[in-house]
Amino acid sequence: MYNDQPWRPGDGKTGDPNECRRCRCHNHAVSCHFDHNVWLSSGEKSGGVCEKCQHNTEGSRCHRCQAGYYRDPSVPISSPMACKGKSENTTQRRSELLKGQDAQGPKREVLKKLIMGIPSPTTSYMLYWPCDGP
């Protein structure tokens, strides 16, 4: 897990070590490898690529939720519960919510934006629901 930068020997003149740096996998992987192209594209800051991301995460740092999952903003990305599964039959659920008696006027628009995953000034995060259309 300590492959975030290229290996270099310690400095024999000053005695300074070249310490290995842990990959930034957010606790969702048990192994990673160094990729020189990733290192260069990061401005030589990070070259670690996480392998076999767990807990429904993906990406070079296990920093995104897999397709079909959404990020729960109430827990840190390092939590095994950071990516939640999408609910079943979301098209029907969206219709039920929009037909609700209390979802009228401005409330209806805010609710519609939340369901469609569009940010709103009244929300601090976005909910990602799969959509078959508006």
Task: Average the pLDDT over 94-98 and give the result.
Answer: 49
Q: Is 113 exposed, middle or buried (0-12, 13-18, 19+ CB in 10 A)?
A: middle
Q: Select from 73, 80, 87, 38 the least CA-distant residue to 57.
A: 80
pLDDT tens, residue by residue, 99-109: 554 455 565 66
pLDDT of residue 108: 60
Cα 130 to chain centroid distance, Å, stands at 17
Q: Residues of the chain with pLDDT > 70: what percent?
A: 63
Q: Are 93 and 81 in contact (CB under 8 A)?
A: no
Q: Is 105 exposed, middle or buried (0-12, 13-18, 19+ CB in 10 A)?
A: exposed
C-alpha distances (whole Å) from 105 to each of 93, 118, 126 are 19, 17, 20
- pLDDT-derived band at 47 (thresholds 50, 70, 90) equals very high
Q: Is the pLDDT of residue 31 over 70?
A: yes
> What does CATH list as the number for 1-85?
2.170.300.10
Q: Is the pLDDT of residue 33 over 90?
A: yes
pLDDT of residue 105: 59
Per the structure block, which two tokens stand in for 9? 């020997």
Specify the higher pLDDT residue, 107 or 22.
Answer: 22
Helix pair angle (105-116, 90-99), 10° resolution: 170
What residue ranges do the domains of the chain occupy?
Answer: 1-85, 86-134
pLDDT tens, residue by residue, 103-126: 555 656 666 555 555 554 444 444
Task: Average the pLDDT over 77-92 and give the result.
Answer: 74
